[in-house]
Amino acid sequence: MREGVRRRGIYAFAPYQGWNNQQMTKNCGLVPYLFHKLWGWRAVMVGGRVGEYPALKDVPGLELDLLESPAMEHQLAYLEAHISDMDVLVLHGVFPFYYPIVQRYRELRPDGRIYLEMDANSYFADRIPQTPELLWFLSQCDVLGASCRKIQEWLSTKWPICADYLPNGFYDLKGVYQKPDFAAKENIILEVARIGSPEKRTEDLMLAFAQIANQFPDWQLRLVGGIDAHLLPFKERFEQEHPELRDRVVFTGGIYDKAKLYAEYRRAKIFTLMSSSEGGTPNVVSEALFGGCYMVTSEVDGAMDIIDGGRCGMHYPIGDVQALASCLAKACADPVLVERGGRAALAYGRENFDFVKIVRRLRYLLFGEGDFDGSDFV
């Protein structure tokens, strides 16, 4: 930084209680972190304490300012104390909690910029009443980001706003990413999630795999992530009914070492997402694309983004186990389809889900700065 040039700041305020540890290394933390790493900005996350934060060590330079409590009086006092450094205010979600924060920020920094990452699904957004307060709040935001094109179009139709497509991208924090070797991929169907949490519908995948397992005896199902207690009774029944699959349905538990996690994507030929709802494109999607996985997804809002319109995967109706089984059977039976789709997924991910590209676009939208011309995101 040149001597005498003020250091700019980007501050992300948590909705309601505060940030959790995982959000330090997901899009919530990565956006301010990359502003720091790429351009030397001061990058700060603000909110009440929610547990401990060991992940901060993975984003050096990202600061976490913990408030005495998340009460609005503390939020506003903090804002007023740091307002001169707060060139960009980042908000996550369309929540009334943010309204007083935005009002005070605009009073004190009319020259500042506000980035609202809406990260909403259509079910949630459709139930937000279009009040004058909401419309005022949206009008104060300089950039409104939607992480899938369906939500981008839907929000721009529902509300008098122009939303920008800013998906959740992939960034290799640890420097351990390796390009997949398609010749080395194994006959593995992969899920990476909070295994068994109700909205992830892991049961659908297990039932669908059981339907096709005899037809494809050399395929394995790998479920990566901590097991939600909700799944345990089902898991016990499933293992009793399908003892022959105990070695082919593998629960790995949570994998927190990124090198080992990325290795799971590189090994797998097929990645699956069975969710009943998602706020756009979840982080695991970009990881799977960079892993060169053929994508099979439920018809969440971001389904067509996830499969690039069908060029790197297929979709099925949410909760339709038979349709999911048919998708898996079609993919398992056609190695050419799966490899071609996996290669397309990798190219598509590198072009559209590289987080450095996404943050460069955000900076361009906020300030018109940089050499970004928008062609990658038309």
Per-residue confidence (pLDDT) for residue 377, from 0 to 100: 38
H helices of the chain, in order, are 27-39, 72-82, 99-108, 122-126, 132-139, 149-158, 202-212, 232-241, 258-267, 283-290, 303-306, 321-332, 335-352, 355-367
Residue 136: strand, helix, or coil: helix
Per-residue confidence (pLDDT) for residue 49, from 0 to 100: 96
Residues 188 and 312 occupy one common structural domain: yes
Residues 363 and 332 occupy one common structural domain: no
Percent of the chain's residues with pLDDT above 90: 85
Structural domain includes residue 1: no
Residues 364 and 326 occupy one common structural domain: no
Residues 206 and 222 occupy one common structural domain: yes
Structural domain includes residue 3: no
Which contiguous run of DSSP H or E holds residue 132?
helix 132-139
pLDDT digits (tens, 9 = 90+) for 311-347: 999 999 999 999 999 999 999 999 999 999 999 999 9
Per-residue confidence (pLDDT) for residue 161, from 0 to 100: 84
Structural domain includes residue 2: no
Residues 155 and 91 occupy one common structural domain: yes
The token pair at 341 is: 């789709």
Residues 320 and 188 occupy one common structural domain: yes
Between strands 294-298 and 9-13, the pairing is unpaired
Per-residue confidence (pLDDT) for residue 160, from 0 to 100: 83
pLDDT digits (tens, 9 = 90+) for 214-224: 999 999 999 99
CATH number at residue 303: 3.40.50.2000
Structural domain includes residue 229: yes
| Domain coverage including residue 240 | 182-352
Q: Would you say residue 371 has pLDDT above 70?
A: no
Structural domain includes residue 175: no
Per-residue confidence (pLDDT) for residue 376, from 0 to 100: 43
Q: How many independent structural domains does the chain possess?
A: 2
Per-residue confidence (pLDDT) for residue 3, from 0 to 100: 52
Q: Which of 38-47, 155-164, 328-337 has the lowest mean pLDDT?
A: 155-164
Q: Which residue has the tokens 């949630």?
A: 124
Residues 109 and 240 occupy one common structural domain: no
Per-residue confidence (pLDDT) for residue 372, from 0 to 100: 56
Residues 192 and 122 occupy one common structural domain: no
Per-residue confidence (pLDDT) for residue 374, from 0 to 100: 46
Q: Which of 129-133, 261-265, 359-363 has the lowest mean pLDDT?
A: 129-133
Residues 193 and 137 occupy one common structural domain: no
Query: Which one has a higher pLDDT value, 278 or 310?
Result: 310
**Predicted TM-score of the model (pTM):** 0.93
Structural domain includes residue 4: no
Structural domain includes residue 240: yes
Residues 36 and 164 occupy one common structural domain: yes
Residues 368 and 285 occupy one common structural domain: no
Q: Would you say residue 6 has pLDDT above 90?
A: no
Burial code (b: 16+ CB inside 10 Å, e: under 16) for 341-367 equals: bbebbbebbeebbbbebbbbbbbbbbe
Alpha carbon distance 338, 371 (integer Å): 36
The token pair at 7 is: 């250091």
Quote the mean pLDDT of the chain.
93
Q: Would you say residue 230 has pLDDT above 60?
A: yes
43-65: average pLDDT: 97
Q: Would you say residue 120 has pLDDT above 90?
A: no
User: In DSSP terms, which residues pair with 354 in a beta bridge?
Assistant: 170
118-125: average pLDDT: 73
Residues 202 and 165 occupy one common structural domain: no
Q: Would you say residue 11 has pLDDT above 70?
A: yes
Which contiguous run of DSSP H or E holds residue 116?
strand 113-117
Alpha carbon distance 112, 68 (integer Å): 26
